[in-house]
Structure 1
Amino acid sequence: MRFTIYSSRVRFLFFLFLFGGLIFTSCSPQNTLRGVFKKQSPYEKYQASLKAAKLDETALGQQWIAAGEQALQKAVPVSLPFKETGYFPADKPLAASYRFTVKQGQKVAVKVQTQGQQVPQVFIDLFEANPDNAGQPKQVSYADTTAQSLEYEIEEELPHVLRVQPELLRSGQYTVTIETLPQLAFPVQGKDSRAVQSFWGQDRDAGARRHEGIDIFAPRNTPVVAAVEGTVTRVNVTPIGGKVVWLSDAKRQQSLYYAHLDSQLVQPGQRVSIGDTLGLLGNTGNAITTAPHLHFGIYRFGQGAVDPFPYVHHDRTKPASLQADEKKLGNWVRTARSNANLRLAPAASATSLQTLSQYTPLQVLAGSGTWYRVMLPDGQQGYVASSMVETLDKPIQAVKLTREAPLLEASSSGAAPQKNLSADSTVRVLAKQDAYWLVKDPQGTTGWIPAEMAR
């Protein structure tokens, strides 16, 4: 049951906006001059075009702008990797948003897939928490209009928010996938992070110092390779590191340290590409009594040593696919029994926002694993277990109205009536909340009535 109701004026303005060239207002002299100083994201350009077309003066236009702003303040906390499939209705502007933390050294990879009869343009924007102003997160990346994906290297271990929002008056199904990737290539040829056997921060010299790197074990003379494109700055021998190579990563303002090599195959000043051989793995220096391995370290300019594991670890865990019924996406359902918990995130351990009574109406917006992200009639969103909801196919009961009642488009006193139901009309009740019931009249029209008129 998907409602698509909007005024003829909004529809007229929208098609004028699409086909009358108003979307290209960014080419005006004023906007061109502004663009010299600030590059606008596709989202910002679209929002400016809405204002130029005066669509921001319509109720739907205002709702679209508000949905984007609210999404940044009410993002769902998720753990990565994460995957969610949802539905954007045309009649009610919505934006999906997710909050997560990614470690320094990782990059976040986002992919959005859409489908539908008229696939909407979807805006994908990534924001970083602003420690000085929580209400104004900083935009750090966005997908361009020709792609539905982005990758962004995390500079600081701060909360990030991903916002996904479609253009106005277009509906469609979407799937968003958020994963992490390492920023650097793995420094030992043919190996991955499973070869790491000694980690950052472990005690060395009976606790006198800490391990400022990771140890990657492999057979002697395994090629040790450049994890980045850069310049070799030092090739020397030290008592602790043995035969070492230092590689400057100017792009990320850091140096990579390769130690305990059996042999060095590069010279200072040499430019290398990712995968070029720097030397062969060994156990020189203070590793002479251990099995051959590479000590790999990262030293940030102005910061010192940092944990290199997130920079090279590729988490191959796959996000849970949707296991709940996909047919419910975008439709109204109801709680199948009492004591259904509306939770902040798709997990049984997530904070409970409220306990829902039986037959509470819910609109399914998205699904992740065995959870649905739903919206209550008052606009509150949260997650419920898919096992706790049912379709509206079977009415709860049939009731006779006590007096004439309007059949409303929404569950609020200001909602527009679709028709008036006469006294003594019998309606089938599909879902219940305190003040309004979702019903179907004898002609098959679905809408809301004040609960007091059916009691």
Structure 2
Amino acid sequence: MACGGVQPLREVFKKQTPYEKYEQSLKTAKLENTALGREWMAAGQRALRDSLTITLPFKETGYFAADKPAAISYRLSAKRGQRLVIGTEIKSTQPVQVFIDVFELNNASGRNPRHVATADTNTASLSYEVEEDQIHLIRLQPELLTSGNYTISITREPTLAFPIPGKNSKQIGSVWGVPRDGGARRHEGVDIFARKGTPVIASTNGYIRAANENNLGGKVVWLSDENRNQVLYYAHLDSQLVRGGERVEIGDTIGLVGNTGNARTTAPHLHFGIYRSGRGAFDPFPALQLASEDPQPVIADMKRLATWARVGAKKASVRIAPDAKATLLLELDRNTPVYITGGAANWYKVKLPNEITGYVSSTLIENLEKPLRTQRLQAPGLLLEQPDSLAPFVTALEAGDALPVLAENDEFLFVQTLNGEQGWIPKSAEIE
């Protein structure tokens, strides 16, 4: 095609995610050239680099503002065989579209993330089966010029039915990777102990690839998983109740627990393994692990959401996750201001004046209703938007103005005018 401005065919027919379609609509409307449009796109990219680390189950309530485009992101460790279930609830005075995207991160820096799943709030939830043992990132971003509260919950569940009815992953007695034959090989599966003759079921829908015998496994069944590129391996059976070529569904009995093969001298048990086509065995435990419990409810006071507060204790730890054992980001002194952007369990998600975001125990935070003191300016000055001498100013201040001091950091005071405007003045300003 010789004409300028014509897209390559691969771009024309490329399937776009809801996020990409919306991003393209902003470009078509020339909104990418506006300050808000540029900030919306930048926020989405920033979220892929800057995210807080969480463990599952997780639940958080937060707020997004129309005049401050933002994207929220969470980083977590996930393993092949798990299913991540992401639910969102949006409360707003107007219809709001929120985009949910899942990325696989190949390294700690988060560079070149691989997009693996997507949805928007037109869908009740997003369910994603993890393909690789990797760090995953979940990004939540509302459309432009909308505001409201969001609640996101992230849980984990197995992708396979447990192969012995009435039991669960707590009954797994021998795990993946333990030495066998004096260290000559490693255990390529998990062992589930049960009485001889206990039924063994199909953990997924599929076809019986083979039902035969070998020296190690004794009587075995190979089940091809029709939904995934893998084969399930059942070994040490006392008897096989299926034949090669049969189709089975989840819950169908395919054999009985035994101790055939090299398990003749051990207690009856099922050896269960998973083999991926072309890549060999991988740990089946995540695919069988009990679903995570429901997330803790948010009990931090959400009336403080989207407001400034301050540290009310001598010291407050800012952590990378809402957990007292999570990595420490920094310590805050008493009276340090924090902006509350969300809450998880009994923790506040806060943004500091230097843009660092983390979690602080809600028990260490207090309201700004009672000023620390009142100061009177000796000379005119400026009320700044941020604790930075180069920041835009909110309003001009006159000599003699009485300013309640609400919070403070090393170099600036967070104050309020008689008109209720809040902002910053340097500590070096001449005050009585």
TM-score (norm 2): 0.89
1:16 is aligned to none
Structure 1 residues 341, 196: CA separation in 2 closer, same or farther (over 3 Å shift)?
closer
User: How many Å apart are 1:435 and its aligned residue?
Assistant: 4.4
For the pair 1:115 / 2:91, whether they are aligned, the reply is yes
SS in 1 for 2:73: strand
Matched letter for residue 409 of structure 2: Q
Contact 1:399 1:454 in 2 (8 A): no
Q: Deviations over 1:45-68 (max 9, x none)?
A: 111112222222222222211111
- Matched residue, 1:42: 18
Pair 1:299-2:275 in alignment = yes
**Per-residue deviation, 1:124:** 0.7
Q: How far apart in 2 are the matches of 1:351 and 1:159?
A: 16
Relative distance call for 1:211 and 1:434 in structure 2 (3 A) is: closer
Please say which of residues 213-222 and 108-117 is displaced more in the overlay: 213-222
Q: Which residue of 2 aligns with 1:277?
A: 253
Q: Distance in 2 between matches of 1:358 and 1:208?
A: 59
Counterpart position of 1:387:
363
Q: Which amino acid aligns with 1:172?
A: G
Query: Gapped runs of 5+ residues in structure 2?
Result: none
Residue type of the alignment partner of 1:46: Y
Three-state SS of the structure 1 residue aligned to 2:306 is coil
Cα deviation 1:78-100 (Å, max 9, x = unaligned):
22222222121222222111111
Partner of 1:60: helix, strand, or coil?
Answer: helix
Q: Deviations over 1:180-235 (max 9, x none)?
A: 22121211223221232222233444555433222223344333211122211111
Query: Contact 2:213/2:220 (CA < 8 Å) preserved in 1?
Result: yes
Count of residues in correspondence between the two structures:
427
Using the TM superposition, give the Cα deviation of residue 267 of structure 1 relative to its aligned residue in structure 2, in angstroms: 1.6
Structure 1 counterpart of 2:416: 440
Q: Which moved more, 1:77-86 or 1:346-355?
A: 346-355
Q: Is the 8 A contact 2:97 2:120 kept in 1?
A: no
Secondary structure of 1:47's counterpart equals helix
Do the aligned residues in 2 keep the contact of 1:243 with 1:261 (CA within 8 Å)? Answer: yes
Which one of the candidate residues 92, 115, 118 is aligned to 1:142? 118
1:238 paired to 2:205: no
Matches within 5 A, 1:182-201: 182-201=158-177
206 and 131 in structure 1: CA distance in 2 versus 1, 3 angstrom threshold? closer
Counting only pairs closer than 5 Å after superposition, residues 49-68 of structure 1 correspond to structure 2 as 49-68=25-44
Which one of the candidate residues 312, 315, 319 is aligned to 2:288?
Answer: 312
Query: Which of residues 220, 237, 240 in structure 2 aligns to 1:264?
Result: 240
> SS at 1:310's partner residue?
helix
CA contact 2:313–2:334 (8 Å) conserved in 1: yes
Q: Secondary structure at the match of 1:252?
A: coil
- For residues 450 and 148 of structure 1, what CA distance do their matches in structure 2 show? 48
Query: Which shows bigger deviation, 393-402 or 427-436?
Result: 427-436
Q: Conserved in 2, the CA contact under 8 Å of 1:122 and 1:148?
A: no
> Amino acid of the residue matched to residue 195 of structure 1?
Q
Query: Aligned to 2:48, what secondary structure does the other structure show?
Result: helix
Q: State the partner residue of 2:341.
A: 365
Measure the CA separation in 1 of the matches of 2:147 and 2:89: 14
Residues 422 and 243 of structure 1, relative CA distance in 2, 3 Å threshold: same
**Alpha-carbon separation, structure 2, partners of 1:161 and 1:449:** 38
Counterpart contact for 1:335–1:388, Cα < 8 Å:
yes
Q: Normalized per residue, which structure has more helix?
A: 1
Which of 302, 326, 334 aligns to 2:302? It is 326
Q: Using the alignment, how far apart are the partners of 2:82 and 2:303 within structure 1? A: 36
Note closer, same or farther for the CA distance 1:436–1:62 as it changes in structure 2 (3 Å cut).
Answer: farther
**Alignment root-mean-square deviation, CA:** 2.7
- What is the aligned-residue identity percentage? 51
Distance between the aligned counterparts of 1:255 and 1:401, measured in 2?
76
Residues 435 and 210 (structure 1), Cα distance of their counterparts in 2 relative to 1, 3 Å cut: closer
Change (3 A) 1:119 1:394: farther
CA deviation after TM superposition for structure 1 residue 415, in Å: 4.9
Instruction: Say whether 1:106 aligns with 2:82.
Output: yes
Aligned to 1:437, what secondary structure does the other structure show?
strand
Counterpart CA distance in 2 for 1:410 and 1:61 is 22
Structure 2 counterpart of 1:362, one-letter code:
V
- Contact 2:88 / 2:121 at 8 angstroms: preserved in 1? no
**Contact 1:42–1:145 (8 Å) recurs in 2:** no
Partner SS for 2:21? helix
Cα distance between partner residues in 1 of 2:274 and 2:192: 14
Mapped partners of 2:27, 2:148: distance in 1: 24
* Shift in Å, 1:412: 4.3
For the residues of structure 2 that align with 1:408 and 1:285, how far apart are their CA atoms? Answer: 77
Q: Does 1:218 align with 2:165?
A: no
Q: Relative to 1, partners in 2 of residues 1:240 and 1:39: Cα closer, same or farther, differing over 3 Å?
A: same
* Segment of structure 1 superposing worse, 402-411 or 372-381: 402-411
Q: Tell me how far 1:77 sits from its aligned partner.
A: 1.6
Equivalents in 2 of 1:349, 1:190: separation in Å? Answer: 35
Between 300-309 and 122-131, the greater mean CA deviation after superposition: 300-309
Alpha-carbon contact 1:128-1:138 (below 8 Å) kept: yes
Displacement of 1:244 in angstroms is: 1.7
Once the two structures are overlaid, the 10-residue window that deviates more, 323-332 or 38-47, is 323-332
Equivalent in the alignment of 2:225: 249
Task: State the distance in 2 between where 1:148 and 1:400 align.
Answer: 54
| Cα drift, residue 335 of structure 1 | 1.4
Which residue is equivalent to 1:406? 382
